[in-house]
Amino acid sequence: MDAEDLSLGEPEAWFRRHLPALIAVVAIGAIVTAGWFFQRAEPPPTTRQAVLKSLPPPESWPTQNRFYIQVCANKVRTPRCAGKNATKADLMAIMLVRDPRTTALRPYDSLERYHRRTNEYLFDDAPSGRLPRTDVNFFVGSVRNPADLQPIMTLYREMAGVDWVDPLPVNFWEYNADVQVGLCGTLGCAGRGPATDAEKEAILARVHALPNIEAVYFEDLAHLRRTYETNFADAEPLYTARAPYGESFYVKLKEWGSAFETIRLLGTMPGIRRATTVDPMLPRN
């Protein structure tokens, strides 16, 4: 209300003069409010879209700092081994190497490779008189700095009882998830095709209803290809062979030790090819 209206003693005159502007302000406010309401009322993105957005960020890709040692064993018949197995003394010598560039080394026998056991031998807890089993045919280890990987592998290649030493790829999901729920692809599920969006939504709902779930991620084929390209020099033929078996959900648990129970509770559902644990080649700390 301006001074002229007040001096005339006519408050209503001010409203008459400014009524068009007031109507415009109210109308704009109504439009903004309606727009906000309809934006809020829009249906949420589909489950597939939401899960795709939950992929771990690129910076979570693991450091490739791991190697494995193949020792001479019953099934190894290379010229270097000359038909002989590594002796207990050879195995102990490998275990007792102390190099500050190396962070861990442990035996990994054929039975453990099957069951994914994790009896660890760490450098800060050297075994005293405890020998690895005589059927050990692998050691797995890691280095602090990836630049030291080649020199360390050369060191072990020159030891008695060693057949070969190579890099051991660190899988992207190894430290990002505990359970893989593989989905049906063009292959992998007899008598049917890839998992449908409806099946994926039902599987995701079942997973989220399970106890001990920290996060659920979705791996599409583009992300799968990148994992192969990160781990293998000859990635394309390996990816081409794997891709027809479909996409996957990956589940991070609050307690990774409950992975088998999570798989049991999940059970079988249409669209699931198989559910398995995501196991580390080295022990989890």
Residue 284 lies in a domain: no
134 and 176 share one domain: no
Residue 133 lies in a domain: yes
pLDDT tens for residues 124-165?
333 333 444 445 678 889 999 999 999 999 999 999 999 989
- Which domain CATH number covers 130? 3.30.70
Token pair, residue 73, equals 């064993």
- Which domain CATH number covers 185? 3.30.70.3040
Please give the single-letter amino acid code of residue 8: L
The one-character DSSP state at 122 is B
229 and 95 share one domain: no
104 and 155 share one domain: yes
Q: How far is 120 from 168, CA to CA, in rounded Å?
A: 17
pLDDT tens for residues 35-69?
433 333 334 445 556 555 656 666 678 888 999 99
155 and 184 share one domain: no
Residue 282 lies in a domain: no
Model confidence pTM above 0.75: no
Residue 45 lies in a domain: no
The one-character DSSP state at 256 is G
Regions in the chain scoring below 50 on pLDDT? 1-9, 11, 14-15, 19, 22-23, 25-45, 114-134, 283-285
* Residue 230 structural domain: 52-60+172-277
103 Cβ contact partners less than 8 Å away, ≥ 6 residues apart: 123, 141, 142, 143, 144
Domain count, the chain: 3
pLDDT at 57: 62
7 and 140 share one domain: no
271 and 176 share one domain: yes
